[in-house]
Amino acid sequence: MKIIQKVTVKQVLTTTSRKELRERFNQRTEQLERECRQLEFEQKKLERKPELSKQEVERRFSKEISRRKDRIRWMSHQLQQLSILPNGSELDTDEVESIVDVEEGDQWEEIRNKEIVIRDGKVIRAR
Long-range contacts at 30-37 (CB < 8 A, ≥ 24 apart): 32/68, 32/69, 32/71, 32/72, 32/75, 33/72, 35/68, 36/65, 36/68, 36/69, 36/72
**Amino acid 106: pLDDT:** 87
- Note the pLDDT tens digit of each residue in 81-105: 888 989 999 888 889 999 988 889 8
Cα gap 101→94, rounded to integer Å: 22
Q: Which residues contact 50 (CB under 8 A, 6 or more apart)?
A: none
**pTM for the full model?**
0.72
Rounded to the nearest 10°, the torsion over CA 9, 81, 18, 112 is -10
pLDDT exceeds 90 at position 108? no
**Amino acid 56: pLDDT:** 85
